[in-house]
Structure 1
């Protein structure tokens, strides 16, 4: 059974998740409802720190930088979802092509056998052809034997009709298999192009973000990090101040507990776009593998997780459920209880604990509904 609000606050089961939550709380990401916002200590000014090599620009300028970075990483996340979807589709299409190829080979073998049977039947009919049945009856020394033979001929005619029907159906099946294989191949090629385009966009956006960050001085980077923590703190505090945790009391299911345990064990591993473990993950790679480890395979991408899995109200969510973020469902994290999530955030970050309300919530889905 995975942790929930009451488990986290109760003595006993602590472990790595509790330790991680404690660290995050200390960093003011998980704020208690009603706690006043307290910004981190201000960066010393150049006058109070003679060794400072740069005069910090106004916060509004760094906030503009942060907004640009957020946009770039968001675009990269959307492209990553597209890349993962194309990769997943390619795997299915490749498997379908292999399956169709096997059907074509098997169907061709069947068709060859049917043609051979039809050829033997035609040869036998040719050898016994010529006279009509009435003449054969008149010329027969044993009319009774002839009539028995005529019955067998009738059975043979019926069998021949069945053979022709089966042969025709097999030919139609082969034609359809070939058409399906061609269609899957065309889709596979289109998917490869989409995957290549998505990869190009991902690398471009990440490179642009890294280039922008590289232009900042050390103190600017530190202040930028502070601004990011402040924004996360404010968002989480506002979310908790709604009283949402007073409504969330559900405990994890057995499968949900396993998924949470898996995700918790990945804390500290780096974010890598397109990665599904075991050494690195992207956001949906983490959630999909966590639930696969719990015996419940789910869609690979955050957008498909949002489309295909059962939606539940935020107040009804329980540890193991997935929170989908942003209007385009471009990010996903796992709820672990007490207002916290485990997520693979973005390039340059690691799998970590965060506040569930630090990003705009689109909705919550339950893999084991």
Structure 2
């Protein structure tokens, strides 16, 4: 059963017949369907970009933490080296000799417990310690520079994340306006719109099958692909939710990434990342568990389920479902493992 926009339009209109119609300029079902598709694609793309930024933010924060710890360790080593240098200098001043720690005596080839009063050896020890301090000072400067650069990069990423949030919220606002418009449709108008979308999907599916692009469509899944698809089929009927990765709700790439993680394969979190980073395959080689990527901006994804169907979390107001593979314009396909 196709659970796209069409699946909910009639119920939405019937539920709102008693409400006053939204103040919107009348438009035909073709124009309304085009606007709906554009908004849903934009929303998917904006959410995908937001999720991608979140991934980068997590990585950048981890890098800042790593470099900060490295800087702290370097400073600890530097403080220890400076204390030792101070003890060496004080020992030379008081007695003209140096009492070295056992580890340094071994490094210099001296017998444990032997007092080192030779001026040449003492000078060599102090010079070596000064060189060690210089090395640690240089390391501290490098670590400090890296930590500063990481913090600056994190600040830039956080600014980008805020911008992505604003973009996403603006599209949500437009979707709210469109929902109000849909609520003002009569049952007959909603039925016309639903029928138009179903007809478009049926036509796209017929064209895809007639083209022979799917080949014989009888290829078995890989063991990992079968595990991923089997797990995903268990999520049928769960609702779509922004940025959700389960277990109670999913967005499109949250479903695919979680499915493949259950198969023991880690893949990018977003549909755009999946398209960019996973090996691409022709549609003629699709097998169950592979990922089908949609739209020119790779803003939607589903798991191929065989029989020219795709399992996916379509968009707001829908559930995880099986649809014809041509439910959206197909960009291509990738195989995680």
Taking structure 2 as the reference length, the TM-score comes to 0.81
2:233 to 251, 260, 264: 264
- Deviation (angstroms), 1:172: 2.1
Equivalent residue for 1:84? 51
Question: Paired residue for 2:91?
Answer: 124
- Shifted more, 154-163 versus 82-91: the winner is 154-163
List runs of 5+ in structure 1 lacking aligned partners: 1-22, 30-42, 44-59, 131-144
- State the 1:355 CA deviation: 0.9
1:74 aligns with 2:41: yes
Aligned 8 A contact 1:75 1:205 in 2: no
* CA–CA separation in structure 1 for the residues paired with 2:174 and 2:50: 14
CA distance in 2, matches of 1:204, 1:288: 28
Which residue in 2 is equivalent to 1:242?
211
Q: Is the 8 A contact 1:306 1:324 kept in 2?
A: yes
CA gap of 1:155–1:271, structure 2 versus 1, over 3 A, is: same
Q: What is the Cα deviation at residue 316 of structure 1?
A: 1.1
Structure 1 position 313 matched with structure 2 position 282 = yes
Query: Which runs of structure 1 show a deviation greater than 4 angstroms over 4 or more consecutive aligned residues?
Result: 145-148
Please list the CA deviations of residues 311-352 of structure 1 after superposition, one character each: whole Å capped at 9, or x if unmatched: 111111211111111111111111111111001111111110
Q: CA deviation at 1:169?
A: 3.1
Q: Give the 3 Å change call, closer, same or farther, for CA 219–241 of structure 1 in structure 2.
A: same
**Alpha-carbon distance, 1:219 to partner:** 2.0
Which 10-residue stretch deviates more, 356-365 or 177-186? 177-186
Q: 2:81 aligns with which of 114, 132, 139?
A: 114
CA RMSD in angstroms comes to 2.8
Inter-CA distance 101–146: structure 2 relative to 1 (3 Å threshold): closer
SS of match in other structure, 2:211: coil
Structure 2 counterpart of 1:295: 264
Which residue in 2 is equivalent to 1:174? 143
TM-score by length of 1: 0.74
Post-superposition Cα deviations, 1:260-292, rounded to whole Å, max 9, x if no partner, equal 012111111111121111111111111111111
> SS state of the match for residue 223, structure 1?
helix
Cα distance, 1:170–1:128 mapped onto 2, change above 3 Å: farther
1:102 — aligned with what?
69
Structure 1 residues 148, 283: closer, same or farther in 2, change over 3 A?
same
Is this contact kept in 2: 1:101–1:181, CA < 8 A? no
1:196 CA drift (Å): 2.1
| CA deviation string 1:36-91 (max 9, x = no partner) | xxxxxxx9xxxxxxxxxxxxxxxx91111111111111111111111111222222
Q: 1:350 to 1:122 in 2, by over 3 A?
A: same
Cα pair distance change 1:207/1:146, threshold 3 Å: closer
